[in-house]
Amino acid sequence: MIRELFEDDTREAPVHRISLKEIDRRAGRIRRRRTALGTAAAATAVAAGMFAVLPGALPAGDHTLARPQPPVPTEQVVYQMDADSAQSPGELDDVFYPAGAGPMEVFVHCTGTQAYAGLWVKDELVAQAPCGPITELRWDNVGDPDRPVQSDGMVRVTARVFPYTEAPGTLTAAEIEERAEQARDEKMFATIHVYRYPGLFSPPADCAQPLVVDRAGSGRETLEPVRCEID
């Protein structure tokens, strides 16, 4: 009813008055404007949310990610206290290391034949084992570093080796010395090395890591890794 009366009143309204059709037209325009503004605001909010979770903008220029470089291998250093070698098992000289220099590791190696070795530290048989051609006698004093010392402050290490065809089993000190004496004229290459623990007898297989032997009294030597020319 009110709408009909208002339409009758405004049908013949002067031009300076506003008719109902004009009100409807203006209201529709306002609604469309608000709808457009709401849509734009929602789009802006979504865009802002996306930027909040995306990484920051990259600087201009090359955007290639830098790959981490592998660390430069540090040299491995082993400290050799003494060493000796001989072409005959009866010719190996005694070797020495300073008392109080820390735990030591001793290697006896024999090449070219099956051989057996005994190891004495200050006249006490401390180890025996095959020493060649692919095995070695290895002994350390980590559990018992305080060995008898000579008057000059050095500890004496003695090795005796002999070739064999059958594994000799466990022998007494006298039996090892006797068999080594009997093999004095045998031709075989034997070596004994004393390192500050932990020692290393052979160069590393890892070609990237250099091995440096620091020999007491004669300086340092860098050993070439083995088989590095093979891909």
Cα distance between residue 141 and residue 63, in whole Å: 58
Distance from C-alpha of 82 to C-alpha of 214, rounded to nearest angstrom: 11
Output the pLDDT for position 23: 53
Strand partners, 180: none
φ/ψ (deg, to 5) at 9 = -70, -30
Given this model, what pLDDT does residue 40 score?
42
Please list the residues that pair with 86 across neighbouring strands.
190
The token duo for 192 is 């004994």
92/226 Cα distance (integer angstroms): 27
Structure tokens at 127: 């180890």
8 A C-beta contact, residue 183 and residue 168: no
Q: Would you state the structure tokens that stand for residue 148, as one six-digit string? A: 């008898």
What confidence score (pLDDT) does residue 70 get? 64
Q: What is the pLDDT of residue 216?
A: 86
At residue 117, the pLDDT reads: 95
Q: Which residues of the chain have pLDDT under 50?
A: 1-3, 5-7, 9-10, 13-18, 36-37, 39-58, 63
Inter-residue contact 187 to 88 (CB < 8 Å): yes
What phi and psi values does residue 44 have, to the nearest 5 degrees?
Answer: -65, -40
Yes or no: is domain 76-223 CATH 1.10.10? no
Question: In degrees, to the nearest 5, what angle opens at C-alpha 162 toward C-alphas 157 and 163?
Answer: 145
Q: Model confidence over 52-104: pLDDT tens digits?
A: 333 444 455 554 556 666 666 677 888 999 999 988 777 789 999 998 888 99
Cα separation, 167 vs 161, whole angstroms: 13
Residues with Cβ < 8 Å from 156, sequence gap 6 or more? 94, 95, 96, 121, 122, 123, 150
Nearest residue to 183 (alpha-carbon basis) of 161, 159, 158, 157: 161
Q: For residue 126, what is the enclosing H or E element?
A: strand 124-132
- Assess contact for 139 and 117: CB atoms under 8 A: no
Per-domain residue ranges for the chain? 2-52, 76-223
Measured N-to-C along each axis, helices 20-53 and 2-11 cross at an angle, to the nearest 10 degrees, of: 110
